Amino acid sequence: MTNRPKLKQLLAAGEFIIAPGVFEMFSARIADRMGFKALYMTGYGISASYLGLADAGLVTYTDMVGRARTIAAGTGTPLIADADTGFGGLLNIRHTVRGYEAAGVQAVQIEDQEMPKKCGHTPNRRVIAAEEMVKKLQVALDARRSDDTLIIARTDARTGLGLEEAIRRGQYYARAGADIVFIESPESEEEFKRIGGEIDAPLLANMVPSGKSPVVEAENLKRYGFDIAIYPSVGMAAACAALRDAYAYVQSHGSTSGCGVPAFSMQELHDLVGFPEVWAFEKKYAE
């Protein structure tokens, strides 16, 4: 969609961005209609919903950029997208940034994990040298064709190397020119506060209930110096619970009548996927 707001301009204006996780077009269309300032395309959600696989470096660039293109084309909200490690070496980083940018992504998230990467709220993650990540960032920054495209530098150093090293890397990546810094999985609210006070750059916080980090209220994150809060699992966790409960009701009752799980009507589903436009087209041309 054209004429969508620019995430860069929203951040420059001091807007605090709450971005729910989207992982396919039902979630993207619903979130898009709700007035969020940004959407977050979650790698975990794409890997699981599209491939049925764990977020453990198994999803490819082709998988991810294809989903990003579909989501960006079908929504009007700025899209932040997970690009894992950039899917390879320096040439891959350049290809990834340009591909995501062409797909309509406004902020590309690249992390400093070794390949194959793992979800940020799982154990046994290992990071590359900070200097190697800075080289990746330099390539990513040079690769973009528009100044409106933002590069998010994520470090996963906190879990294996400690908070001091994670903050050091965040500062280093900010000096290297990253537009946004993302310290993955701080382990207390006090750690979020330290990060906000010690890194001079726009900051992103990842809110994953039952993950390694506490869920910090948006107002507190803003007060600590954060600019964006993403909620990658909020949609997929709710959807999975609702699907399980609805299927269980049908299994046990042989009917949907009386099922207490909230559900869209067929008319609401038709509206969501664009049937009114199809019917208007048919009325104009086919009848």
Q: How many Å separate Cα 48 from the centre of its chain?
A: 14
CA distance 156 to 43: 15
Lowest mean pLDDT among 53-62, 114-123, 160-169, 184-193: 114-123
Domains in the chain, please, with CATH? 7-239 (3.20.20.60)
Is residue 22 within a helix (H) or strand (E), and if so which, with residue range? strand 17-22
Q: How many Å separate Cα 92 from the centre of its chain?
A: 20
Judged against a pLDDT cut of 70, whether residue 1 lies above it is answered with: no
CA distance 42 to 84: 10
* pLDDT confidence bin for 2, thresholds 50/70/90: low
Model pLDDT, residue 115: 85
CA distance 38 to 237: 19
Q: Sort strands 39-41 and 180-183 into parallel, antiparallel or unpaired.
A: unpaired
Read off the pTM. 0.95
Model pLDDT, residue 117: 84
